[in-house]
Structures are given as structure tokens and as C-alpha cells.
Copies of this chain bind each other. A is one copy, B any other.
Amino acid sequence: MNIKNDLLLRAAHGLYTERVPVWLMRQAGRILPEYRAIRERLSGFKELVTTPALAAEVTLQPVHLLHVDAAIIFSDILVIPEAMGLPYDMYESKGPLFVRTISSKNDIDKLNATTAHENLTYVYEAIRTVKKELNGSIPLIGFAGAPWTLLAYMVEGHGSKTFSKAKKFLYTQPQEAHELLEKITTVTIQYLHQQIIAGADIVQIFDSWAGILSPEQYTEFSLKYIAQICKAISTVPVIVFAKGAFFARKQMAETDCSVIGLDWNMDAIESRNIIGHNKTLQGNLDPCVLYASYNEIRKQTQKMIDRFGTQRYIANLGHGVYADTPADNVRCFIDTVKEYSSMKSSFSKTQSFS
């Protein structure tokens, strides 16, 4: 099916875009009162994730309410560990908590890597529902966590400032770590393939805990597996967002991904120089800018577009939007991207024709 507004896909493929496409990480979530209303009716976050009709509904909310250029399926990166046999609960205040964790080869051997993706049919069904509702208006983004980030939670058992238990695992049991990462990678590839079959037009890999590894460990324990996933996903573009991995930008450019997501610490021009011109960049406004006045939001958003340019570029924040951000400020960001980049693109087109 042709997609009416395919700006995001064209940007990902390196094709001309008449303006910069824009979406936000965590756009389907607490920033919208309409999301909070649904969430309050439910037993918890996981009910929302595992009920396709509800996941589809909240996926579509920012499409209608914020007019973003792409939907991203509402889900959680930790559904993969759970599908492999490691259940978790999600607590409002504390984040995820795994009932059991991984600490030995025996624990890893017990994990299901062959049919785990079949336990995630609720995600594929949500994708199919969203695709039907979108009716070809804009693309739908599928996603998964990077294998290292999933390992971090599976070994640590919960969120952490340092993930020192997970990092200790890499230093003390590197062979087991690789076995676990291989299993997660296998499941992730199957999972993303199923998302694509269900209708995902592009997929993003979130490496949320990239930035706590040393450059050497990152190459060995994270990038290697991200590269395998990028290689295996050949029918749709892949976005990789590795928060904090400024040191890996050059290597990231050598993978088969189409888009590299940047956090707000990474300078646009320096990143373009490091990465080269064969990848599309995505990002990277500091989420805290959206706490400021409309004037300041416009100023900072325009400056961002001035630095990235209007081509091979997808506007986004440098991290997920914070839950307490006023929805109108998010709208101001989105509208500024659309208006300012349209103006700039048409201006530069005129210029190049003159």
C-alpha cells in the first residue's frame, strides 16, 4: 500500500523531502491526557501493552492529537525477555522488576530462543489494527530493545544508575554474556520480522543503556549484535538509537542501518562529519527545551534544523519526551519543525534553481 505522507520513509532512504519529518520518542504516553484517561482505567501498564485494541488506541492518539509524521507502536522493550521465559512486573514509581534474573549458563540455557517470538502475537495484532486505522496516511514504526540493553535488565533485574551487576557479568562471564546476547539477537530478528509482516514500515532499535559501557565493551557486547540485526532486516529501513554512545558513531555508520538517532549531547555538525553522508540522522533536541516558552522552543528547534539541514534528517528529541511536558509545548515543537523546514526547503530549492 502506498503511504500518503511518506516523508519519514523518504528521509530514511536518503530521498528528497520537501520538509523535515517529525515524531517523538514516547509520543504515545503520559504527555497526553487522553492516554492518562485510558491508563487510569486499567490494572497496570502491562495490561495496556498486552491488549492489542488498547495498545492500538494509544498508538493512534498522538497521530490525531499531535499530527506527527509517524506512529510508533505502543509496546515495551521488555516483552522479549518475558517471551523468552523471564517474566517482569512494571511498577509506577520504580520501573520494571524481574521476578528471576540471569546469572549462569544454566539460566541462559533455559531461555526460549526458538519460538519466543510466537508469544508476542499481541504486538503483531496491535500493529495490524493500527495499520488498518492509519489507512495509509503515515508510516508505522516498529521497535525492539538492543540486545545489550535487554541483557542489562535480565541480569540486573531492574533499573539502575550504574547497571554494575550487568557490567560485572560482562567482565566476569564474557562467554555466557555472548551466549545470552546471541539468543536475544535471534529472537529480536524474528520479532522484528513479524512486526514487518504485520505492517511495520520501519523499525527502531533502542539501546537505552549504550552509554554506560566502555567503547571497547560496547563494540564487543552491543554493536556486534545491533549490526547483525541491521543486516538481517533488509526489507524496511532500520533506525538505531544508542543513547550515550557518542564514541561509537563512526562504527555505527559502518552497519547496515539507514538512520542513526542522536541524543542531545551529540553535536549535529560533528556527528555528520563523523558519520558521513550515507546515513540519515535523527534527533536531537534536549527534552527539557519543551519546558520553556513557545518562543524559546521555536528558537531552539529552528537552530536544530539549521544545524542538521533539511535533507537526510528526521526531527525528534534526543530522548523520550518527559511525562510532565505540556502537550501544547510538544505541538509547538512539531509545528515549528513543519513550518520552518518547509520554508527552508522551498528556499533552498529556489536558491538551487536560481
**CB nearest to A297 among chain B residues:** B171
Contact A264 B214 (CB under 8 A): yes
Contact A265 B217 (CB under 8 A): no
A64 CB to closest chain B CB, in angstroms? Answer: 27
A10 CB to closest chain B CB, in angstroms? Answer: 28
Surface stretch bound by B, among A106-114, A124-132, A284-292: A284-292
In the complex, what residues of B have CB within 8 A of residue A211's CB? 265
Surface stretch bound by B, among A70-78, A97-105, A160-168, A346-354: A160-168
Contact A161 B164 (CB under 8 A): no
Q: How far is the CA of A170 from the CA of B215 in the complex (A)?
A: 31
Interface size on A (CB < 8 Å)?
A: 30
Q: How far is the CA of A167 from the CA of B247 in the complex (A)?
A: 24
Tell me the A residues contacting B by CB distance below 8 Å. 161-162, 164, 167-168, 170-172, 211, 214-215, 217, 244, 246-247, 264-267, 270, 286-289, 291-293, 296, 322, 324
Point out which of A214, A215, A244, A286 has the most chain B C-beta atoms below 10 A from its C-beta: A214
In the complex, what residues of B have CB within 8 A of residue A214's CB? 264-265, 286
In the complex, what residues of B have CB within 8 A of residue A322's CB? 162, 164
A321 CB to closest chain B CB, in angstroms? Answer: 11
A181 CB to closest chain B CB, in angstroms? Answer: 17
